[in-house]
Structure formats: C-alpha cells, structure tokens
Amino acid sequence: MNMGKGAGMGDRVQGKVVFITGGSDGIGKATAIRLAREGAHVVVCARRAEKLAETRSAIEAFGGAVETRVLDVGDTDAYAAAIADVAARHGRLDGLINNAMSVRYTSILDTTLEDWRQDFLVNADAVFVGTREALRVMYRQRSGSIVNISSLNGIRAMSGMSSYSASKAALIQLSAVAAIEAAPYGVRVNVVAPGQVATPAVEHFAQVEPARAAQSTAVIPMQRSGRPEELASTLLFLISDESTYITGACLPVDGGKAIQLYIPS
C-alpha cells in the first residue's frame, strides 16, 4: 500500500499500474524502484523469491506501492493469467515492461535446438504473449504503453550469441508490428536496446575475466558501462505521458556503441 510520498519521490507516473518482468535485480529492479518513486503502482515478477523480496523491501522502505509475484515468464499461460489478474483487480493496466531474458554464449555448432528454443521462449514467445495480453486490456481502455527490452545484440551481430541475438531481433520486429496495430487505440509500443550495462552478471564477468571486460568497455565511445538507473530513466520516460507521440521506436541505450562502423572482435 502506498503510504504517501517519501524523500526524492515525484509524480511523473502517478497512479499508473505498471507490470515489470525480470524485476529481481539489474535493470528490472532499478526500473521498479524508479517508477514507484514517481508514483506508479508496480507489479514486479521474477523467478527468484528471495531476490524479488529485496526489490519489494527497497520500494516499501520509501512508501512505494508494490506487488511481487514469483513467476517464470517462460510459463506463458501463467504469464498471461498474471496480466489478466492484475488488470482485473486494478481495473486497468497502464504499462508493461518486458524485461526478463534468457541468454547463452555458445557457437552455432555448440548450440542445441533446446538451447535455441529456450532463448526464444523467454525473449520472443513470452514477449509476444505479454504484449498480446496487455493489448487486450489497453485497447479497451484506449491507453497504455508497452516497452520491450531488446539488446544491442538484436541490432548488431556478435559471435557466440546466435539464439540470443536472433530472439532479440525478433522482439524488435514484433514490437514494430504491435506499434502499428495499437496506434489507433491510443496505445504505444516501443523497444529499448541496452548495450553493456553494469548488472550483477556483467559485474561478475568483469571479476572473472578482467582483461576481456576491459576490452569490451574500451570499444564503447563513452568508455564505460551503463548503469541500471540510466536504463530506468529511459523506461520511465517511455511509460510516462512525456512520450505520448513516440511509438514504434527502437532506442539504443549503449553509450554510442551502435553507431560505430567497426567494433574489433
């Protein structure tokens, strides 16, 4: 329950109900906290109950409005039911952020069909189901904003990431079609494509592979990783009414990496 505004709280998404997947850490957690600080009622799901509880506690600490659900979006029937339940209980759904993802780093020769399908299940199938179910609600209320999280790897190829890159590219095209279909109903669909972001997984990589991590950072024009909070600011903007004439966009948030003509391997 929202107990009122705390220090540093705003009202850019005041009263909006926003569903966020993959909210147990990294970009999802930072976004849930940021939206709650700006007045949204956030519904956050993830697979790990203990990490999800940390997100909830962080939001409740400043009086933010939050619900948490232990949910694997790969169970697409359960995911669809969760969106319908949230919309029914609150009488609306103003925002959906599809942030949960699956990633593996293997060559094509070492990628099994099962591996390929798992990345597509989470990164494309679940996004399709979530987008479809949110659109059912948003069409009726004739408003809403969906933001699907792709990746720089969905725009540019990288060795060893065939299933991840292909599924994230599919997500971009799905979102573009959804944006066209949803526009007459006053509903917007956009994509954010993060580059290297200092999530727990990236920070762990930097600890175990410092040389490779340094090389990866060196080819970013801004010479650093992004912060989850920087992605959260972008997502806040796209969910808010400050971006009401933006739909069908695919926005790289990558420190300039996508615009380079050549990236050394």
**Could you tell me the residue range of the domain that residue 89 belongs to?**
17-252
**What CA–CA distances, in Å, run from 182 to 141, 168, 206, 251?**
12, 21, 41, 19
Q: Is residue 263 part of a domain?
A: no
* Whether pLDDT at 260 is above 90: no
Q: Is residue 164 part of a domain?
A: yes
**What CA–CA distances, in Å, run from 16 to 40, 93, 121, 236?**
5, 8, 28, 11
The per-residue pLDDT for 214 is 83
Q: Is residue 258 part of a domain?
A: no
pLDDT, greater one: 147 or 208: 147
Mean pLDDT, the chain, as a whole number? 93
Q: Is residue 262 part of a domain?
A: no
Count of structural domains within the chain: 1
Mean pLDDT, residues 55-68 = 98
Say which CATH number the domain at 76 has.
3.40.50.720
pLDDT, greater one: 214 or 261: 214
Cβ partners under 8 Å of residue 148, min gap 6: 97, 98, 127, 131, 171, 172, 174, 175, 189, 190, 191, 192
What residues are annotated to the active site?
164
Strand partners, 252: 193
pLDDT bin (cut points 50, 70, 90) of residue 6 is: low
Q: Is residue 133 part of a domain?
A: yes
* Whether pLDDT at 84 is above 50: yes
- The string of pLDDT tens digits covering residues 217-250 is 888 899 898 999 999 999 999 999 999 999 999 9
Mean pLDDT, residues 183-208 = 88
* Whether pLDDT at 120 is above 60: yes
Q: Is residue 259 part of a domain?
A: no
Q: Is residue 143 part of a domain?
A: yes
Q: Is residue 215 part of a domain?
A: yes
